[in-house]
C-alpha cells in the first residue's frame, strides 16, 4: 500500500454518528458565527453565513437526514469551486489517511442500510471502520445535487 494511493479525509460527528468527507473538498472548519436567515428555502437550510465576504448556504445535516434541528456550533466550509455550501457539524473527530481498499461501497453491504435511513443512503456512497466505529462517507456531488434539487422545488 503506497502513500500515493491514500487520500486524506476529515472525520466528523453529527448526532453521535461519524461521517467523512475528502479533505480536498474542504476549505476550512470553523466556529459557527452569525447566521443570516433566508426565506423560502428547505427547512434544513439554516440561512447564509459569511466567510471572507463570500456567502455560503448553511446546511443543517441533522435536519436533512433525520428531520431534527441541530444546536451544533462548528461548520465545514466546502471549497468555493465545488459550491457555496457550509455544513453544520457537532465536532471534528480526526483527519485520516485512507486507502481505497478500506472503503466498503454501500450497495455491497446490508449493514449500511440497517444503520442508515433511506435519506442518508442516497448521499453516502461508502463507509469504513475507524477505531471500532462505522464512518459513513458522504458523496459530495450527491449531497450538493440533493440541496440544489430541493432549492428548485421552492
User: 37-82, pLDDT tens digit by residue?
Assistant: 999 999 999 999 999 999 999 999 999 888 889 999 999 999 988 8
Could you read off the pLDDT of 23-33 as tens digits, one per residue? 999 999 999 99
Where would I find the H helices in the chain? 61-66, 110-115, 118-123, 140-152
Residues contacting 125, CB < 8 A, separation 6+: 105, 106, 137, 138, 139, 142
Q: What is the pLDDT of residue 120?
A: 55
- CATH assignment at residue 78: 2.40.50.180
Round to whole Å and give the CA distance between 14 and 5: 28
Rounded to the nearest integer, the mean pLDDT of the chain is 87
Q: With the CA atoms of 60, 132, 99 and 90 taken in that order, what torsion angle do they form, in degrees rounded to the nearest 10?
A: 20
Q: Is the pLDDT of residue 115 over 60?
A: no
Residue 106: pLDDT band with limits 50, 70, 90? confident
Domain that holds residue 58: 3-152
Exposed, middle or buried, 22 (CB in 10 Å: 0-12/13-18/19+)? Answer: middle
Q: How many whole angstroms from its chain centre is CA 57?
A: 13
Round to whole Å and give the CA distance between 109 and 113: 7
SS3 127: strand
Residues contacting 29, CB < 8 A, separation 6+: 10, 74, 75, 76, 77, 89, 92
**Of residues 73 and 107, more confidently modeled:** 73
The number of distinct structural domains making up the chain is 1
Round to whole Å and give the CA distance between 148 and 82: 13
Amino acid at each position: 500500500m503506497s502513500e500515493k494511493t491514500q487520500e486524506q479525509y476529515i472525520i466528523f460527528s453529527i448526532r453521535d454518528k461519524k461521517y467523512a468527507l475528502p479533505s480536498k473538498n474542504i476549505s476550512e472548519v470553523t466556529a459557527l458565527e452569525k447566521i443570516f436567515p433566508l426565506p423560502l428555502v428547505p427547512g434544513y437550510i439554516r440561512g447564509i453565513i459569511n466567510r471572507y465576504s463570500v456567502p455560503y448556504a448553511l446546511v443543517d445535516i441533522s435536519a436533512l437526514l433525520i428531520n431534527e434541528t441541530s444546536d451544533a456550533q462548528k461548520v465545514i466550509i466546502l471549497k468555493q469551486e465545488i459550491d457555496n455550501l457550509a455544513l453544520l457539524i457537532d465536532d471534528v473527530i480526526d483527519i485520516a489517511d485512507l486507502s481505497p481498499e478500506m472503503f466498503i461501497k454501500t450497495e455491497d453491504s446490508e449493514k449500511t442500510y440497517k444503520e442508515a435511513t433511506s435519506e442518508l443512503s442516497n448521499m453516502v456512497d461508502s463507509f469504513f471502520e475507524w477505531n471500532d466505529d462505522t464512518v459513513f462517507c458522504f458523496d459530495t456531488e450527491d449531497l450538493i445535487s440533493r440541496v440544489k434539487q430541493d432549492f428548485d422545488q421552492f
